[in-house]
Amino acid sequence: MSIDGIANGIPAAPAVLEVDSVTKTYPSQPPVMALRGVSFTVARGELAAIVGPSGSGKTTLLHLMGTLDKPTSGTVRIAGTDVAELTDREVAFLRASRIGFVFQQFFLAEHKSLLDNVTDGLMYAGVRLARRRELALDALSAVGLAGRAGARPTQLSGGQRQRVAIARALAGEPAIILADEPTGNLDQSTGQSILALFEALQQRGSTIVLITHDISIARRMPRRIEVLDGRIVADTRGEGAGVADSLAAGPPIVQPAEHP
């Protein structure tokens, strides 16, 4: 049993994501070595933060984990499949069916209802329309917005918009959700409520990797992978103040704030 399979004393869960000796050099002039040999695995049901200062390689790493870009060397496996061994079509299907993305900028279609925004996210997952609507409503209800399914994003606050984007990522029941600075456009307390939502989704069984430059956000997560200059400099578990830890160890350091 590998060390990576043990989280909080719970026996090994299969790895959803394996990043093995990955490097990435952008062929710019001069070339930029954004990742210099990165290895880690994420087990099913984990909530992990990748944290590091601006320019340390976090977004590059997210693109590789999300099959949006290819490593210069090394291997990325999603649910046991080596992405490099797939055709472009197979990679596109893997991405659509197994990976949910959340970005700082939300990327919602402003003229469409929340339900259509979330339903559209399932377009390529090989699911019929009636079932897509059902999954979309379930996902909106998981983020507390089922009652607003007919509203337009323009009628929502920033925090509510990000909840819609999270519902869209969640709806296809992906193997893993990848979030790049998901609280970057939100005020402090709204950001905290989004983190509380990620914690609640983990409790429901989701696997989530959250990228942030904010150490106070990372500290709240059950696992923190710290990157600096394209390398992992620390990978720690168990000291976070998140929901799972707070159940065992008293109240969280940061109280989740909930906005209506």
Whether the bond between 30 and the residue before it is cis, its omega within 30 degrees of 0, is yes
Closest CA to 138 of 124, 121, 159, 155: 121
Residue 160 in the binding site for Mg ion (CB under 5 A): no
Residue 59 in the binding site for Mg ion (CB under 5 A): yes
Residue 52 in the binding site for ligand ADP (CB under 6 A): yes
CA atoms within 13 A on the CB side of 238: 5
Three-state DSSP class for residue 117 = helix
Residue 107: CB minimum distance to ligand ADP, A: 17
DSSP string, 2-64: -GGG-BTTBPP--EEEEEEEEEEEE-SSS-EEEEEEEEEEEETT-EEEEE--TTSSHHHHHHH
Residue 32 in the binding site for ligand ADP (CB under 6 A): yes
Residue 228 in the binding site for ligand ADP (CB under 6 A): no
| Comparison of 60 and 190: residue with beta carbon closer to ligand ADP | 60
| Comparison of 193 and 212: residue with beta carbon closer to Mg ion | 212
* Alpha-carbon span 126 to 132, nearest angstrom: 9
Residue 93 in the binding site for ligand ADP (CB under 6 A): no
Interface segment toward ligand ADP; rule CB under 6 A; list 54-62, 132-140, 162-170, 237-245: 54-62
Residue 28 in the binding site for ligand ADP (CB under 6 A): yes
Interface segment toward ligand ADP; rule CB under 6 A; list 53-61, 110-118, 149-157, 236-244: 53-61
CB 141 within 8 A of CB 120: no
Residue 31: CB minimum distance to ligand ADP, A: 8
CB 210 within 8 A of CB 184: no
Q: By CB under 5 A, name the binding residues for Mg ion.
A: 58-59
Q: By CB under 6 A, name the binding residues for ligand ADP.
A: 26, 28, 32, 34, 52, 54-60
